[in-house]
Amino acid sequence: MFDLTDTISAVSTPHGEGGIGIVRMSGPASVSIAKKIFATPGGKGLNGIESHKVILGYIKDPDTGKRIDEVMLTAMFSPKSFTREDMVEISCHGGNLPLRSILGLTLKNGARHAEPGEFTKRAFLNGRINLLQAEAVIDIIKSKTDLALESAMTQLQGGLAEKITSIRNILIEVLSEIEASIDFPEEDIEFTPLTLQKKAETALHDIKQLIGTYKYGKIYREGVSVVIAGRPNVGKSSLMNALLNEERAIVTSIPGTTRDTIEEGLNINGLTIKIIDTAGIRESGELIEQEGIKRTQKAIEGAGLIIFLLDGSEGVKEEEINLINDLRQKDKPVIIAINKIDMGNKIEGQGEGGFLKISALKNIGLDKLKDKIFDIIYNGHCKTQEGLFITRERHRESLSKAHDAIEKAIIAINNNFSPEFIAADIRLALENLGEITGETYSEDVLNRIFQEFCIGK
């Protein structure tokens, strides 16, 4: 399916000028290509080169003999390299011209230009890392907050993969017991539905728990965006301004003031979040406002956390109850806050005393709100036993499929269905779980994952 016999080459450092830049090669011809274009003043070149040793020399064009740049070259022999293949890294001066010229020489002398993420893809295909770790590599590169980095590092270190493997092992036990009873019915192998069911339920429980971590894992990976939503005039923009401590958004007493989403970075107790003020949600015939409300919906879809604001001086409207119910369907945390409590609170009388009470105008209750935001985002990991998260829709999808298959298997066990049926469901669940770590994969899935990478990684 994939060709690993050729040698790939790419510039692995970012575009632009820098102190050093790196051209990287991986594949069987890496060292022989390097030998053609690398020279040392004493003329020894790369003869007798050892793995993981840095050699000072220069790159020359073998056709013209022209020196391109002074470089440090490191070879890493298979299997002790990132890709498990022979690799060569050439550190040159970090300008576009030396980097392009050296890359060009590697290509002219037998390498092929690497595709985005191809080094990491080879690391996966050669069994050095699993798919979760490959994804963690992208996440480490792209992480914007300490938390994102921390969660990606946990994933790189293999915690999530271990968890998946342990669930798979339970299912493999179940499967082998069932298969034994299918293969050797005459040997009267004890088929114990109760133990099987218990085991399947343990697996199901663990899977459910992992699925539940997605809302936090997604927040960690992508950073958090906190959306302030609610009806017009409840004080959303006032809250945004109060949290930012500046008059960022326009505030007026006219409902429908905010027409567009407004985003700002905000630090809450040391945690970086993106706070988004939105257009108030209501039925509106007005075109600009309609467009604004569409953007509000979009912001809500992308939000990690939603602050739904009510106006305590007005009481709760039926449409707000509907909106809250809709939000609660979305499987993401929602904080409901009652604003304008400096003007009294009609809502408490309606049995909703559990909501946070604030005043954006008088700065009441904002510290409690911040603590709550922090708690939900940061302490989210208390909700998982091992601090493990799934971080991608891909993981969630495969887990849900595995979940459904196991549920079917349990029903089959309960109803004394033929063991072949149970076995088929368990096999399906195993396959779905295997997709997460990459034990089973399709070319399509791999391509989608590695598309996210830059060239040279």
The residues binding ligand GTP (CB under 6 A) are 232-238, 251-253, 255-258, 279-280, 339-340, 342-343, 359-361
Instruction: Say how many C-beta atoms besides its own lie within 10 A of residue 28's C-beta.
Output: 13
Copy the structure tokens of residue 328: 């609660």
Q: Is 237 in the site for Mg ion (CB under 5 A)?
A: yes
CA distance linking residue 69 with residue 110, whole number of Å: 20
Shortest distance, CB of residue 69 to Mg ion, whole angstroms? Answer: 56
- b/e sequence 170-185, b meaning 16+ C-beta within 10 Å: bbeebbebbbebeeee
User: Looking at beta carbons only, is 322 or 379 nearer to ligand GTP?
Assistant: 322
The verdict on 197 binding Mg ion (CB under 5 A) reads no
Q: Which residue is nearest to ligand GTP (CB)?
A: 280
| 296 binds Mg ion, rule: CB under 5 A | no
Are 231 and 280 contacting, i.e. CB atoms less than 8 angstroms apart? yes
Q: Which is nearer to Mg ion, 215 or 274 (CB)?
A: 274
User: C-beta of 258: minimal distance to ligand GTP in Å?
Assistant: 3
Distance in Å, CB of 330 to ligand GTP, minimum: 21
Tell me the closest approach of the beta carbon of residue 351 to ligand GTP, in angstroms.
Answer: 22
Give the residue with the Cβ less far from ligand GTP, 140 or 364.
364
Q: Locate 454 and state its tokens.
A: 């830059």
Peptide bond just before 79 cis, omega within 30 deg:
yes
Please choose which of ligand GTP, Mg ion, none residue 122 contacts, taking the beta carbon within 5 to 8 angstroms, the exact cut-off set by kind. none
Judged by beta carbon distances under 5 to 8 A according to partner kind, the member of ligand GTP, Mg ion, none in contact with residue 256 is ligand GTP
Residue whose entry in the numeric block shows the structure tokens 């630090």: 267
Size of the site for Mg ion (CB under 5 A): 4
User: 3-class DSSP state for residue 373?
Assistant: helix
- Region from 58-66, 160-168, 237-245, 389-397 binding Mg ion, contact rule CB under 5 A: 237-245
Alpha-carbon dihedral of residues 85, 91, 95, 97, nearest 10 degrees? -60
Nearest CB to Mg ion, comparing residues 91 and 258: 258
Beta strand pairing call for 271-277 and 262-268: antiparallel
Q: Residue 267 pairs with which residues in a beta bridge?
A: 272
Burial per residue of 378-388, b for 16 or more beta-carbon CB atoms within 10 angstroms, e otherwise = bebbeebeeeb
> What is the spatial distance between Cα 75 and Cα 52, in angstroms, rounded to a whole number?
6
Q: Which residues contact 215 (CB under 8 A, 6 or more apart)?
A: 304, 331, 332, 333, 380
Residue 91 binding: pick among Mg ion, ligand GTP, none (C-beta 5-8 Å cut-off by kind): none
> 235 contacts which partner out of ligand GTP, Mg ion, none, CB within 5 to 8 A by kind?
ligand GTP
Q: Which does 276 bind (CB under 5 to 8 A by kind): ligand GTP, Mg ion, none?
A: none
Nearer to ligand GTP by Cβ, of 151 and 237: the residue is: 237
How far from 444 is each of 8, 117, 397, CA to CA, in Å? Answer: 21, 14, 15
Nearer Cβ to ligand GTP (9/233): 233
Member of 258, 339, 345, 359 binding Mg ion (CB under 5 A): 258
What is the rounded end-to-end Cα distance, in angstroms, of the chain? Answer: 21
257 contributes a contact to Mg ion by CB under 5 A: yes
Minimum CB separation of residue 241 from Mg ion in Å reads 10
Q: What is the binding site for Mg ion (CB under 5 A)?
A: 236-237, 257-258
